[in-house]
Amino acid sequence: MAGPPQQAEGSGSAQASGSSTARKTFELNNDVQVADPSDSLFAYSRDEERVLEDAAPWKKDPHYFHTVKISAVALIKMVTHARSGGAYEIMGVMYGKVRDGVFWIMDAAALPVQGTETRVNAGNEAFEYMVNFQTANNEVGKDEMLRGWYHSHPGYGCWLSGIDVNTQMTNQSFNDPYLAVVIDPNRTVSAGKVEIGAFRTFPEGYEAPQTSQYQSIPMDKIEDFGVHANSYYPLKVEIYKTRLDEQLLDLLWNKYWVATLSQSLISSNRAYATSQLADLGAKLHSAPLDASAKLKKKDEGVEDDATPLNQATQDSVRINTELQNGMTAQVIKEKLFNGKLDAEGARKAVLGVL
Amino acid sequence: MDEPVSHVLDNGVSSGLTLNLHPLAILNISDHVTRDRLTGSKTKITGALLGTQANRQVAVVNTFELALVADVDEATFDQDFLERRKEQFKQVFPTLDVIGWYSVGATPSDEDLRLQEQFSGLVETPIFLQFNTDIPAGAKDLPLTLYESALSEGKDAEAGAKFVKLDYGVETGEAERIAVDGAQRGGMGARDESQVVGSLVTQRNAIRMLYERIEVLSSYVHAVSEGKAKADHNILRQISALLASLPTMDAAVFKAELEDEYADVQIADTFNSLTKQLNALSDYTDRHHVVFPTSSQDDYGPPGARGGKGFDRPEALAGGRRRR
């Protein structure tokens, strides 16, 4: 579908814009704090950080790190990189600082690693690349340390697989403090919101407190997810931006609001939506078999809140919401740009002036 | 830096490139500027623009910082560093090439001109992006200006190489747009925000922008027709062309496609309702089972819940109806 008229742009910029009001309302609703965190972040020197590294409080407390704050640039780099991989997993590294139980991820870089649809691993060339890249970073004054790795799970959610858990455990024993970030580019695009998770593994032998949270995971991955779900914990993910970023983002919105109207979620997600429905079908198909088993369990006094049918229903609601959102956008555009406007009359009015 | 002679040709002919900037490139430069300000480095801020060029379409997708070598008083690009970085980015993003460079300032300086000349030796017809860090309050445009070298012919050639301004637009990939939105609103972890509300707010904001712009046009046309404003035929022609393009898409094929799509989504919605009912029913049988448990020997599940199988087995039925 063609985008809205570009011509409206230039002449519109003279108008006092309401976009900032709209954005302010939005930020108010979403409780966004506007401070310039980079001031104190850059002031926090490598020496101070080294003191913390020597003390290594994360060795004593497996839950020491609770939050990760990712810069706008690093977030966009990771998401676009993940998306560029298509159906294949991609991988990269993150640079930043650690302070007071928080990872500050300031930059991210892609690694030349070719993944498959279900796994990605870094070989020796990748390590060499990593070292050279960081050397070059230092030459232009980017002296942040390597603070973690990111990879993508195209279409199957943000969690750590068995292999991921091993990789992260190794990194935490040799390169700590180290963070694992997972991004799902397919769900990001279909949900219209960045699907990202940040994780740290527990040391071996640590008894993690049992937690269960709804996670939509495809049939063929459920086992891998279930076995390892208690060997790591998620960190709270926050995004920070500098004052200059803030100003630029404001001005950017003046330019790219057009994209919101010109893109169609449904057509760009068709393949993914179909695979989601197929997965849902498979889950529903297997649910009745499990139901009788569940009843037996109940008789034995075992309570299980998350029944297979329950999970499938949550999946179904999620898929449906995304489809409906996409359709609503389509209908809005249909009304806006394809409506039975009195274009003839309006044109005559303009031509009359000419 | 304030030079008396402007290095920009006001009426120079550009090569007619269609130029699009990606938010990532813009924010990456922002990051470089902020880092430079806070670490108090003394060198000039410079970096390379990474992007694609197909025919006359140029997209600036990403950037990376460059190093300068100070040569007595004339700084030049560290070519070795540029080559190394170029190679590194080529390995991970094979489709992206170095297509230009960036620096900061309000207008191109002597030094910029010299660096542009050096860069021309490294990359064919490089684009120069200048970032003006001094953003005036209430600014509506991005503080960026893009230039290319003027084609020096005749008189201009004698005056030395000059810059010509290039028009540019902003372009985003879908994932990029979502990430920018995410960065704009801050937190990611909040899962309680309704997806429907979020999606509708985004739509509403975009429509409001469209509406504001249309209002400007409409008030202009009104002012012209009342004789209060000067008629700019170019603008009026554009408005007329715009109106002529409505409805944007009225082909029967498109209508049919949209209707199909609509029906598909509604079918999915019906299935969703059915699944929810099924789940509610299943929950209900579960609860029923708790209140009226069967004997644990019954492998067939509770009577009633399994389509009346209990009738074949009277002893199960009797057992199942025992009240607690």
Q: Could you give the ipTM of this predicted complex?
A: 0.75
pLDDT, position A275: 87
Summarised one tens digit per residue, pLDDT across range A188-212 is 888 878 889 999 998 877 777 766 6
Q: 10 Å Cβ neighbour count for B5?
A: 9
**Residue in A219, A220, A183, A176 with CA at minimum distance from that of residue A198:** A183
Q: Is A18 close to B212, i.e. CB distance below 8 A?
A: yes
Domain boundary among B176, B211, B233: B176
Mean pLDDT of chain B: 78
- Phi/psi-derived region of residue A86, left when phi > 0, alpha when psi is between -120 and 50, beta in every other case: left
Phi, psi of A267 (to 5 degrees): -75, -30
CA B48, B54, B55, B61 torsion-angle sign: negative
- Mutation for A interface: B210, B219, B284, most A CBs within 10 A: B210
Decide if pLDDT at B98 tops 50: yes
Question: Would you say residue B1 lies in a domain?
Answer: no
Dist CA A349 CA A333 (whole Å) = 25
Which residues 6+ apart lie within 8 Å of A344 measured at CB? none
Superfamily holding A37-241 = Cytidine Deaminase, domain 2 (3.40.140.10)
Q: For the packed helices A243-262 and B23-39, what is the interaxial angle rounded to 10 degrees?
A: 180
Token readout for A130 is 């990593």
Q: Residue B189 is nearest to which of A237, A291, A339, comparing CB atoms?
A: A237
Question: Would you say residue B2 lies in a domain?
Answer: no
CA distance A200 to chain B (A): 16
- For chains A and B, count residue pairs whose Cβ atoms are closer than 8 Å: 362
Judge if B88 and B56 occupy the same domain.
yes
Q: How many domains does chain B have?
A: 3
Strand order, beta sheet including B163-166: B8-9, B163-166, B144-149, B127-131, B97-104, B46-54, B57-65, B18-21, B168-170
pLDDT, position A150: 94
Q: Is A263 close to B177, i.e. CB distance below 8 A?
A: yes
Block means of pLDDT (10 residues each) for chain A, length 354 residues? 36 41 52 57 80 84 88 91 89 90 90 76 80 86 88 89 88 88 90 87 77 73 79 87 84 79 81 87 76 55 63 87 89 81 61 57
Residue type at position B296? S
For chain A, the domains span: 37-241, 263-337
Judge if B269 and B232 occupy the same domain.
no
Q: Is B241 close to A7, i.e. CB distance below 8 A?
A: yes
Find chain B residues with C-beta within 8 A of A23's C-beta. Answer: 184, 205
Summarised one tens digit per residue, pLDDT across range B115-165 is 888 888 888 888 899 998 887 777 778 888 888 887 655 454 445 568 888
Judge if B162 and B27 occupy the same domain.
yes
Judge if B131 and B147 occupy the same domain.
yes
Judge if B200 and B218 occupy the same domain.
yes
Between strands A102-110 and B18-21, the pairing is: unpaired
Judge if B239 and B258 occupy the same domain.
no
Per DSSP (E only), the strands in A209-274 are 232-240
Residue B27 and residue A248 in contact, taking contact as beta carbons nearer than 8 Å? yes
Which residues 6+ apart lie within 8 Å of B307 measured at CB? none
**CA distances from residue B56 to A259, B19, B148 in whole angstroms, order as listed:** 21, 8, 13
- Quick check: B229 contacting A, CB < 8 Å? no
Summarised one tens digit per residue, pLDDT across range B307-322 is 444 344 444 444 444 4
- Domain hosting B208: range is 195-244
Between strands B68-71 and B74-77, the pairing is: antiparallel
Q: Is A309 close to B279, i.e. CB distance below 8 A?
A: yes
Judge if B201 and B162 occupy the same domain.
no
Judge if B205 and B141 occupy the same domain.
no
Q: Which single residue is written with the structure tokens 């991820």?
A: A105
Q: Can you list the alpha helix ranges (DSSP code H) found in chain B?
A: 23-39, 79-92, 110-122, 154-159, 174-185, 195-225, 233-244, 252-291, 314-320
Q: Is A84 close to B35, i.e. CB distance below 8 A?
A: no
Residue type at position B144? L
Judge if B68 and B150 occupy the same domain.
yes
Dist CA A135 CA A100 (whole Å) = 27
Q: Is B272 close to A43, i.e. CB distance below 8 A?
A: no
Question: Would you say residue B75 lies in a domain?
Answer: yes
Judge if B74 and B213 occupy the same domain.
no
- Quick check: A192 contacting B, CB < 8 Å? yes
Percentage of residues of chain B with pLDDT beyond 90 = 13
- Mutation for B interface: A1, A255, A265, most B CBs within 10 A: A255
What three-state secondary structure class fits B7? coil
Find chain B residues with C-beta within 8 A of A330's C-beta. Answer: 258, 261-262
Token readout for A222 is 């459920």
Judge if B239 and B298 occupy the same domain.
no
Residue type at position B17? L
**CA distances from residue B19 to B22, B89, B108, B177 in whole angstroms, order as listed:** 10, 21, 19, 18
Find chain A residues with C-beta within 8 A of B269's C-beta. Answer: 320, 323-324
* A 330-349 near B (Cβ less than 8 A): 330-332, 334, 336-341, 343, 346-347, 349
Residue B144 and residue B104 in contact, taking contact as beta carbons nearer than 8 Å? no
Per DSSP (E only), the strands in chain A are 67-71, 91-99, 102-110, 145-152, 179-183, 196-201, 232-240
Judge if B260 and B144 occupy the same domain.
no
- Mutation for B interface: A40, A79, A196, most B CBs within 10 A: A79
Residue type at position A343? A
